[in-house]
A and B are shown apart, each in its own frame.
Chain A
């Protein structure tokens, strides 16, 4: 398997623009997670899905952020409008939760820079 795929790997945009980050989970996985990594706050969970349904979005910073999972093989994280403080590395992870201690598999991340 190719692992979790994220695109783009790097995104540079100007403040106020819409940004869409994309994720393709590992085939057969039923959970998908979005995390954000910054120097100040470390790795934070933003939202996660089970079988394409959002389960917990309490980590989404504000209404400017939205996430969707239209099918089992694709998810998007959208920021509209973007702000400089959104600059971070955004990771997508997926898992097949059949027991306890199941591993989350991380993608390579998208480095977002908002100027």
Chain B
């Protein structure tokens, strides 16, 4: 069975500071990993995805994530936070690709940006 753990339900950073959102996964097979963002009262939007092509994945809005098999992690980072980054972020895992299978989500991390 697959699972996702997101450390920290709330993360607060200052505008311009580094953003680090943590995600650890459990999977019995090589996983496919995703980060989604949810703005208030909206659906989820894909930020980036790992499909084994490269361990460092770049996404939209300046975000990137690094797949580390030895640590079973897929942490999300952004060098400089912007006020518009304030949102809920979800890490998700799929064992069979993502498009043809349901995703297993973490509980989410609420990112707060301090001015």
Interface residues of A (CB under 8 A from B): 4, 31, 33, 42-45, 48, 50, 56, 59, 91, 93, 95-104, 106-109
Contacts and interface: CB of A to CB of B under 8 A. Distances in A.
Given A95-B100, A97-B100, A101-B98, A106 B45 contact: yes
Contacts, number: 71
B79 interface: no
B77 interface: no
A50 B43 contact: no
A42 B44 contact: no
Interface centre among A59, A96, A98, A102 (most CB of B within 10 A): A102
Interface of B: 32, 34, 36, 41-46, 49-52, 90, 97-108
Nearest to B100: A97
A4 B90 CA distance: 19
B26 to A, nearest CB: 16
Given A31-B100, A96-B99, A101 B32 contact: yes
B102 A56 contact: yes
A43 B90 contact: yes
A33 B102 CA distance: 7
